[in-house]
């Protein structure tokens, strides 16, 4: 694999060749063809434009959450990069949407804003990194990370727990909400 390291001015600062056997590369994300290019719905990369209530301003019957939403870059970079989106952050988006839809049905104005907090166990196979970023997009109030084999084990355990609760039809059991509250990890602002 031939890798070019780009300097701040866009020039090539260094190149290196890495062994390529079982490797993974993530290309830049873009929105799916079904929505790309619809004026007012998506940005030029095909991500859905939303307001602070996760709602599209042009098509108010459209709400969006997850990796498909348009998030403005946090700063200037020599090559365009996306903003990371992770599971807990996405759960906060869907919680805000569900609560806002409830308000719409009751004829009230929407008030719920997702925190976009990140709480992540990233598994690297034999180890991993756990991190909390509140909110995920800087400037942050909380920035914490730790690594080790325990993250891999925690992720394997979490997967079993997560699939189990979803199979039971319970998205957020009270003990999970309690544990997250104790850690100060909220899904809705305020
Ligand atoms: C390699 C990798 C590792 C990651 N690790 C972590 C992690 O450890 N922790 C964490 O929190 N997050 C992690 N993430 C991020 C997280 O997985 C994603 O942010 C999350 O899965 C996005 O969920 P989503 O529902 O928005 O989108 P997706 O999970 O991508 O779901 C979108 C779905 O829409 C379907 N679809 C697409 N086009 C159409 C169409 N035209 N019609 C109908 N259906 C369509 C797709 O098939 C897909 O099933 C990781 C991401 C990657 C790529």
- Per residue in 167-190, pLDDT (tens digit) is 999 988 999 999 998 888 899 998
DSSP per-residue letters across 99-129: HHHHHHHTTPPP---B---EEEEEE-SS-EE
Distance 107 CA to ligand 1 centre (A): 32
- What is the percent of the chain with per-residue pLDDT over 70, rounded to a whole number? 100
Ligand 1 neighbourhood includes 127 CB (under 6 angstroms): no
Distance of CA 133 to the CA centre of its chain: 11
Q: What is the pLDDT of residue 156?
A: 95
Q: What is the pLDDT of residue 114?
A: 96
65 band by pLDDT with thresholds 50, 70 and 90: very high
Q: Range with the lowest mean pLDDT among 35-44, 55-64, 67-76, 79-88?
A: 79-88
- Per residue in 105-153, pLDDT (tens digit) is 999 999 999 999 999 999 999 999 999 988 878 788 888 999 999 999 9
Q: What is the pLDDT of residue 135?
A: 82
Q: Among the atoms of ligand 1, which is closest to the Cα of residue 155?
A: 8
Q: How far apart are CA 78 and CA 55, in angstroms?
A: 31
Distance 126 CA to ligand 1 centre (A): 23
Give the number of other CB atoms < 10 A from CB of residue 180. 17
Question: How many alpha carbons fall within 13 Å on the CB side of residue 158?
Answer: 15
Ligand 1 neighbourhood includes 87 CB (under 6 angstroms): yes
């Amino acid at each position: 694999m031939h890798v070019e390291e780009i300097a701040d001015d866009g020039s090539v600062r260094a190149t290196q060749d890495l062994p390529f056997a079982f490797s993974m590369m993530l290309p830049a994300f873009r929105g799916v063809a079904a929505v790309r290019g619809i004026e007012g719905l998506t940005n030029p990369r095909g991500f859905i434009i939303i307001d602070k209530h996760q709602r599209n301003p042009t098509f108010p019957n459209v709400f969006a959450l997850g990796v498909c939403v348009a998030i403005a870059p946090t700063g200037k970079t020599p090559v365009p990069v996306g903003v990371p989106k992770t599971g807990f952050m996405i759960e906060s988006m869907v919680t805000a949407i569900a609560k806002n839809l409830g308000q719409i049905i009751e004829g009230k104005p929407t008030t719920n804003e997702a925190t976009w907090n990140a709480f992540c166990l990233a598994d690297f196979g034999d180890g991993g990194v756990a991190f909390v970023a509140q909110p995920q997009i800087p400037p942050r109030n909380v920035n914490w990370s730790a690594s080790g084999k325990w993250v891999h084990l925690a992720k394997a355990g979490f997967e079993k727990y997560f699939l189990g609760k979803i199979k039971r039809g319970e998205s957020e059991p009270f003990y999970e909400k309690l544990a997250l509250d104790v850690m100060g990890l909220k899904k809705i602002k305020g």
